[in-house]
Structure 1
Amino acid sequence: MTTDMSYTTEEISKLLKISKLTVYDLIKKGELPAYRVGKQMRVDASDLEAYKTRAKGGKLAAVQTEAVQAPSHYPISPVSSSKNTLVITGQDVSLDILAKHIEKYVPHYRPLRSYVGSMDSLISMYKGESDIVSTHLLDGDTGEYNLAFIRKLLIGSSYVVVNLVSRAAGLYVQQGNPKGILGWADLTQPDLRMVNREKGSGARVLLDEQLRLHGISQGVLSGYDQEESNHMSVAGKVATGEADFGVGIEKAASMVGGVDFIPLIQERYDLVMLKKPENQIWIEQVKRVLQSESFRNELRPIQGYDLSQTGNIIYET
Structure 2
Amino acid sequence: MSIEQLAETAQAMVAPGKGIIAIDESTGTIAKRFAGVGVENTEENRRAYRELLLTTPKLSDYISGAILYDETLRQSTKDGVPFAKVMTDAGMIPGIKVDKGAHALAGCPGELVTEGLDGLRTRLEEYYRLGARFAKWRAVINIGDDIPTGTCIDANAHALARYAALCQEQGLVPMVEPEVIMDGSHDIDECFQVTEAVLRSLFASLYDHNVMLEGTILKASMVLPGTTSGEDASVEEVAAATLQCLKSTVPATLTGIVFLSGGQSDEAATAHLDMINRMGPNPWPLSFSYGRAMQQAALKLWSQDIVNNVAAAQQTVYERARDNGLAALGEWQKAA
TM interval, shorter chain, is under 0.3
**Which structure: larger Rg?**
1
Task: Tell me the TM-score normalised to structure 2 length.
Answer: 0.26
More helix by share: 2
- Which structure dedicates a bigger proportion of its chain to strand? 1
TM-score normalised by the chain length of structure 1: 0.27
